[in-house]
Amino acid sequence: MKLDEELLGSFKSLKSFKNGERINNIDFHYEGKLLVVGSDSNIDIYDCHTAKLCMTTPVAKYGCASVKTVAASNCVLHTSARLNHDVRCLQMDTNSYLRYFSGHTEIVYDVVPSKVCDTFITVSLDNTMKFWDLRNPNYTGEINAYSYPRCTSLSSTGLVFSSVSGPDTLKMFDLRKYQQGPFSVVNFKTHANDESAASTNNYNKNEPITYCLASESSLNDKYIYVAVANDSNYIIHTIDSYKGETISTKVFPLPTLLSFNDLRRIPPSKDKKFPILLSKIGFTFSADSNYILGFSPNDTLSGILNAWNTKTGTDITLKNPIIYKHKIAQHERNERWVSCPSACNVKFNPMYMMMATSVDDVLNLWQPCTDQ
């Protein structure tokens, strides 16, 4: 079955699970059989064939801010939400920890495992990106960032990784010789295609971009999306990694309650929390790499699931879009930096016609309904 716009538009949530607490992150295993769900207290593993919960691992002591499956072994990697900044490797077969990876001195906000070998990359607010091997508890290399946050993505071959450096620059490295510097540099604002994207998405090309929040490579390695945020917008750039140029740009307004104008008055120690909070709004590629899906917030801290064509940026109409609404307490409105929109995640199954979304504490499994 080939995924096209009509089929994607027919996707509907067919199974829903109440997690009991906010879901921080979700990820499919590379074979598509398992879905891993991370929250502050547990890591849950769901069987995608039966749509049932098959294993739960308590992680209340350290929490789980981000969780990723490891393709080369039956493990998951998860970052800590409290106490320390270790990355932990959980063996799914035995439901026990295989190894801890220590080295970061600040919050680790993402971990990116290879799809073909035992290596993985971590990015942290300590301004470093570190390289690891699952067989070694010590990191094997690192790159010092000029500023935080520094987002990264890794190709399906495990040989090329990209890093967002500075406010509007993507650098591509050969993992085997990253010490020699990038072999390609892409500037988000220097390509002619940005002009057409700007005209169709009300994007002011001269607006300063303050933070990079997320980055991901498509499964065919042809595209990379980079999610950034400035004073008023959440911006998704799609980059052709072969040509080294931006091919489309989507813009979603930030909620007024999360305006960067307020954050400029916050001390740096508190300001550091903001990239973590805002990145709770997730985006992902479809399995065939032709579409991008993601949540967008609005002024009432409500939002909707969006989909668009990777190459053209053309919106895809979803017949059954999920809508979320975040209830925010008055004291949170007075201290805007401690609040964020609902934690929204979306992932497309790499092998089967299925996707998963999570909003706050609710997990949904989606499949196409062609009879509608």
pLDDT in tens, the chain (372 residues): 789 999 999 999 999 999 888 898 999 998 999 999 999 899 999 999 999 999 999 998 888 888 999 987 789 999 988 878 999 999 988 888 999 999 999 888 889 999 888 899 998 888 889 999 999 999 999 988 765 556 789 998 889 999 887 667 889 999 999 999 899 998 876 333 333 333 344 444 454 545 777 889 999 999 999 988 776 778 899 999 999 899 999 988 766 544 443 333 333 334 444 444 444 568 899 999 999 998 876 555 566 889 999 999 999 999 888 766 655 444 444 444 334 445 788 999 999 999 999 988 899 999 998 764
Q: Which of 184, 181, 167 is CA-nearest to residue 239?
A: 184
Q: Which of 366, 359, 276 is CA-nearest to residue 324?
A: 359
Res 119: pLDDT: 92
Q: Which of 304, 143, 128, 275 is CA-nearest to residue 209?
A: 275
Residue 89 tokens, joined: 């490797």
Residue 165's CB is within 10 A of a number of other CB atoms, namely 18
DSSP string, 179-196: GG--SEEEETTSSHHHHH
User: What would the pLDDT profile of 185-234 be if each residue is shown by its tens digit?
Assistant: 988 763 333 333 333 444 444 545 457 778 899 999 999 999 887 767 78
Res 302: pLDDT: 60
Res 335: pLDDT: 43
Q: Which of 168, 209, 205 is CA-nearest to residue 187?
A: 168
Three-state DSSP class for residue 243: coil
Contact 366, 8 (CB under 8 A): no
Res 197: pLDDT: 39
Cβ burial of 107 (10 Å; 0-12, 13-18, 19+) is: buried
> What's the CATH superfamily of 5-368?
YVTN repeat-like/Quinoprotein amine dehydrogenase (2.130.10.10)
Res 338: pLDDT: 37
Q: Which of 32, 229, 66 is CA-nearest to residue 149?
A: 229
DSSP state of 263: H
